[in-house]
Amino acid sequence: MKGTKAITLIGLLLALIGGGTVFFHHVEGWSWLDSYFFTVVTLSTVGYGELVPATPMGKIGTTVFIGLGLGIFAIAIQQFGKFAVSKHEMRARLRTTHDEHRKWPGEDGQHGKADSESPGQ
């Protein structure tokens, strides 16, 4: 994963947590801590059920928040998977290249015993 994509995804995640915290604090009237807790618990799909939106706006906001959160997490997981696969492929290519350049004497038929003997021997 390139640095720019990682920073963007982390920024989106932090914005989502911050936005959710502010939203629930104002719409539901919860404390900042409760709003933050609900945001993180909902975003992580744990859902303890200790806090439940009581207002229609809070319920609608929660469903939108869940959709956005799942979308961002899905993109993050996909990007991390692409990064892991490309890193594995790069290591395999390096290993292959290294093995191709590391030849033992006689292994390629150019520097073995038969090649080093003079014709009269």
| Structural domains in the chain plus CATH codes | 3-101 (1.10.287.70)
In this predicted structure, what is the pLDDT of residue 40?
93
Q: What does the longest C-alpha to C-alpha distance in the chain come to?
A: 100
Q: Which residue type occupies 11?
A: G
Q: In this structure, is the dihedral angle defined by the CA atoms of residues 22, 26, 28 and 30, taken in order, positive or negative?
A: positive
pLDDT by 10-residue block (mean), the chain, 121 residues: 80 93 98 97 87 96 93 86 80 71 60 51 52
On whether the CB atoms of residues 83 and 89 are closer than 8 A, the answer is no
Burial class (CB in 10 A: 0-12, 13-18, 19+), 20: buried
75: nearest Cα among 14, 3, 6: 6
In this predicted structure, what is the pLDDT of residue 99?
63
The pTM score is 0.64
Decide: helix, strand or coil at residue 28: helix
In this predicted structure, what is the pLDDT of residue 115?
47
